[in-house]
Structure 1
Amino acid sequence: MNPLLLRQFWSVVETTQANILLHLDDSTLVRHLTHDLQTQRLLDAEETTAVNHYIESRLPLIRDIAQSRVSPEFCGSAI
C-alpha cells in the first residue's frame, strides 16, 4: 500500500465511530472500513485485496485505538 492510501485509511479509522470499530465482528469491520475507504477513492482489485489484508492484520490496533477514544483511562496517565 502506498503512503497516500495508508493515510487515507487511518483517516477513515479516526473518523469512524468508536462503537462501530468495537462492536462489529472482524469480517464485517473489514468490509465496513474498506467500503468507507472506497467512498474516498476508487480502489482497483489489487488495492482492495491489499487493504483487506492490511485491515485484518491491524484489527487489534484499530480496536485499541477505538477503546482509547471511549475510555480516557485506557490512555493511562500514571501519577
Structure 2
Amino acid sequence: MGNIKKRLNFLARTIIQNITVNPHVVRLLWKAVSEINYQSLLSLPDRDLSKVITEKVRDSVILDSQESQKLDAYLASKLLLIRDLADAV
C-alpha cells in the first residue's frame, strides 16, 4: 500500500510540474478571459472557447511548442472555473 501511495505522489508531482506555465503567460490568459464577452464564455463549446482564449494569448506572446502545450493543459484545467466566473457576472 505504501508503494502505491509513493507512486501516486510521484505522478501528482510530475503532472503539476508539467503544467507549470510561465506567470507572464498566465496573466495574459486571464487578461484574455476578462476581455471576452461573458455570453461567449458561457455559450462556446470547450474546444472553441479554448481556441479563442489561446489565440488572444498568442497575439501577445510567441510560445514554443512546450509552452504552448503547457498553456493548453492549464487552460483545460481552468475551463470550468472560467465558466463559473462568467456565470456569476
Query: Counterparts of 2:51 and 2:64 in 1: how far apart (Å)?
Result: 15
Query: Counterparts of 1:60 and 1:11 in 2: how far apart (Å)?
Result: 17
Amino acid at match of 1:64: D
Query: Counterparts of 2:63 and 2:53 in 1: how far apart (Å)?
Result: 13
Residue of 43, 52, 63 corresponding to 2:72? 52
Normalising by the residue count of structure 2, what TM-score does the alignment of the two structures yield?
Answer: 0.72
Query: Counterparts of 1:22 and 1:46 in 2: how far apart (Å)?
Result: 29
Superposed CA offset, 1:36-67 (max 9, x none): 11011111111111111111111110001111
Match of 1:14 in 2: 34
Unaligned 5+ runs, structure 1: 70-79
Residue of 12, 24, 32 corresponding to 2:52? 32
Match of 1:73 in 2: none
Unaligned 5+ runs, structure 2: 1-20
Please state which structure has a larger fraction of its residues in helix.
2
Identity, % of aligned pairs?
Answer: 32
Normalising by the residue count of structure 1, what TM-score does the alignment of the two structures yield?
Answer: 0.81
Amino acid at match of 1:49: Q
